[in-house]
Amino acid sequence: KKSEAWSALFSEPMSELVKRYTASVFFDKRLWLADITGSLAHAEMLAAQNIIGASDLADIQRGMAQIRSEIEAGSFEWKLDLEDVHLNIEARLTQLVGDAGKRLHTGRSRNDQVATDVRLWLRDEIDLISDLLKELQIALVDVAEKNVDVILPGFTHLQVAQPVSFAHHLLAYVEMFSRDAERMADVRRRTNRLPLGSAALAGTTYPLDRERVAKTLGMEGVCQNSLDGVSDRDFAIEFTAAASLCMVHISRFSEELILWMSQNFCFVKIADRFTTGSSIMPQKKNPDVPELARGKTGRVVGHLMGLITLMKGQPLAYNKDNQEDKEPLFDTVDTLKDTLRIFCEMVGGQLNPATGQKEGGITVNAAAMEAAANKGYATATDLADYLVKKGLPFRDAHETVAHAVKAATSHNCDLSELPLAVLQGFNASIEKDVYECLSLRGSLNARNTLGGTAPAQVKAQIARHRTRLA
Ligand code: ARG
């Protein structure tokens, strides 16, 4: 009976297989609120422009209110025969209010309707994601603030490089998430434009007031070319690219948490409710949440590939290919939101309403971090810098320290444990004050340039983030 949804032009009904293949209602029904919101704005404008009557508008508003409560109550009957969210809602409207329902589609096509719905929906989701990104940054800054003086080995190539403040390390992620938030804000601006009024592809013969609809919907402007308005999904691709980068940042952090939680590091613990046991090994507490987050990053990056490939071969204007934008986009939003939510709680803890304090966030093992930083000659660069200050060219200082490290290695001790006389054997200008620069804290304090790991710099970073996130 599908032919009846279109016109008398069709000589046979759509096959059942094709009906299922082309239908999108079981996933695009989640656009229902955007669809109703967009339709109401369109109808108000049609009435204001005398394209439909005031009583038609009232009927449409009454019908849509009813549909809204049916959907919210779960009693709305979604029909596969009606293909998608748009036709389902419009058919029910006509059933409820008659001719006024049939007038709603004046000067509109599903092509500009769906583009509008996706943009409205995504805009609101971006706002939720931006809030979560802010929450995660605050959680990280909170943990950082408590750990300015905690020292962990900084790595390059996963080999001990130089000591850094644990707070400094966490604040690196705050920088990443702050850029993710900036990207989201930027994508939002280009998402929040109105395609409605593009009609099928060429615009429409009715005297629409598109600016008015944009204003009603809180959009920042109208799409200026009707062909572009109905056909491009670059905003969705851009969003998924921003989401992918954000997931990549989460994935890197996850990788570190997994390492830090292993028995060979013991740097941190996450609360038991974020870990799982093993069905065979009784001693296990596995970091499933960070592992899954790392895994789900691949899924989101996959959606980016899917969407960008979806777009690449499409001639102007609308093609049904675009119906395939929804599942990857929806799944990207769901995955990113769930991941951010869980990380906010895993890092920052849960608010205890009785105390007003957050509890059960990440636990830091400062002693294990510092012990690890004391292995691997993390202050070798400091000794080279010390010799440079005594007048040695850097390259010579580098070579001298390599000999000192070799000697310390053969004595199985740290550079700071070599007697002064032994150190002086490498360079006569070395004096007692060398031990200050060979200590972890001395090394940290010395890195007092903007963006460095000295506690004063770290505190300045924290203060800057506090102001920004307030
Ligand atoms: N369900 C369709 C989509 O998601 C709506 C637009 C269909 N337009 C059309 N002319 N077939 O893109």
E-assigned strands of 290-404? 350-352, 357-359, 363-364
Work out the burial of residue 42: count CB atoms within 10 Å of its CB; fewer than 13 is exposed, 13-18 middle, 19 or more buried.
buried
Please report, as a single letter, which amino acid is at residue 176. Answer: M
Q: List pLDDT tens digits, range 16-29.
A: 999 999 999 999 99
CATH of domain 111-205+224-359: 1.20.200.10
**pLDDT of 230 above 60:** yes
ipTM: 0.97
pLDDT at 3 over 80: no
Torsion sign (Cα): 95, 98, 99, 101: negative
CATH number 3.90.1200.10 given to 3-106: no
What is the pLDDT, as a whole number, of residue 469?
98
Find how far residue 434's CA is from the centre of its chain: 46
Q: What is the DSSP letter of 192?
A: S
Is the pTM above the cut of 0.90? yes
Side-chain-side CA neighbours of residue 168 (13 Å): 23
pLDDT at res. 2: 44
Dihedral sign for Cα atoms in the order 337, 84, 323, 218:
negative
User: pLDDT tens digits, residue range 174-208?
Assistant: 999 999 999 999 999 999 999 999 999 999 999 99
CA of 113 to the centre of ligand 1 (A): 9
Q: Among 380, 371, 444, which residue's Cα sits nearest to residue 408?
A: 380
**340 vs 250: CA distance, rounded Å:** 8
Q: Which residue has a Cα nearest atom 11 of ligand 1?
A: 320
What is the residue-averaged pLDDT of the chain? Answer: 96
- Return the ligand 1 atom nearest residue 84 CA: 1
Per-residue pLDDT at 273 exceeds 70: yes
CATH 1.10.10.10 fits 377-469, yes or no: no
Q: Are 30 and 330 in contact (CB under 8 A)?
A: yes
Whole-angstrom distance, CA of residue 291 vs CA of residue 288: 5
Contacts of 341 (CB under 8 A, 6+ apart): 132
Q: Above 90 in pLDDT, residue 8?
A: no
| Ligand 1 pocket check for 111: Cβ under 6 Å | yes
pLDDT score at 284 = 85
Between the CA of residue 161 and those of 174, 237, 379, what are the distances in Å?
A: 22, 38, 8
Q: Cα of 357 to ligand 1 centre, how many Å? A: 49
Question: Which pLDDT score, from 0 to 100, does residue 283 have?
Answer: 86
Q: Domain-by-domain residue ranges, the chain?
A: 3-106, 111-205+224-359, 377-469
**Is 110 close to ligand 1, i.e. is its CB under 6 Å away?**
yes
Active site residues: 157, 278
Using one digit for the tens of pLDDT, what is the confidence trace for 56-78?
999 999 999 999 999 999 999 99
Residue 228 has φ and ψ, to the nearest 5°, of: -65, -40
- Tell me what the mean pLDDT of segment 147-152 comes to: 97
The dihedral through the CA atoms of 446, 447, 449, 453 has a sign that is negative
Among 14, 21, 87, 110, residue to substitute to test ligand 1 (most atoms within 8 Å of Cβ)? 110
The pLDDT value recorded for residue 372 is 96
